[in-house]
Structure 1
């Protein structure tokens, strides 16, 4: 199968040179996704709202790839302030509570000080998706 590239239209993708996601066979690799609303290029100040928007963005990307959140097998959370991670848990449980992918969280600076969380996922499309 040929590799398929998916773009969100974000200026970051064009300026840096990457894809929102890469689909290879049944695998979907979604780049680190922040809480920007790509249609307006705005971002909330609240980490919970950023987390929600990250997952909305990821869900939309997976759908473009012919996959869904239930196909996610791995998730990585990156936060500049690890102490804020617990605030994200209710949102993460809302989206991944039943799916329960393998997960890692680490603290690192992000590309923009407005960003409070970045989420990256890997999905394996099921035969039913």
Structure 2
């Protein structure tokens, strides 16, 4: 029996092209979304607040999940990277509001980010429900 082929989803981010990765990889019912910063890809700008950056990152993630016929309700794991510990509460509030009652497993780390100007980076794993 052969495995279903993997599907690769792109969001158009310059980082995907630069580093040669996909925004998301779909393997069966599993969707693995790469670390996503809160950048406005159209303008290349980063909003001033961690909350707004978190919203944009989740918008990008939601778009990738949608292309994989899934949604934020299908997220089972979230990894959040926040360089400034002072922003953890604000970012966590956005996550709680956007993920609703889904309540995925979550790890939040305070760590420097590779992208200058980024105040948050989020990666998720989702599983489409039958």
- Find the aligned partners of 1:41 and 1:65 in 2 and give their Cα distance: 25
- Find the aligned partners of 1:17 and 1:82 in 2 and give their Cα distance: 30
The runs of 5 or more residues in structure 1 that have no matched partner are none
The answer to which of 77-86 and 88-97 deviates more is: 88-97
- Give the CA deviation at 1:114: 0.3
Q: Is contact 1:8-1:38 (8 Å) kept?
A: no
| Structure 2 counterpart of 1:4 | 7
- Find the aligned partners of 1:112 and 1:69 in 2 and give their Cα distance: 24
Q: What is the Cα-based RMSD across aligned positions, in Å?
A: 1.0
- Give the CA deviation at 1:40: 2.4
Q: How many residues align?
A: 127
TM-score by length of 1: 0.94
- Give the CA deviation at 1:101: 0.2
- Find the aligned partners of 1:40 and 1:7 in 2 and give their Cα distance: 18
Q: Specify which of 89, 109, 113 is matched with residue 110 of structure 1.
A: 113
- Give the CA deviation at 1:84: 1.3
The runs of 5 or more residues in structure 2 that have no matched partner are none
Q: Specify which of 89, 100, 110 is matched with residue 97 of structure 1.
A: 100
- Find the aligned partners of 1:124 and 1:32 in 2 and give their Cα distance: 17
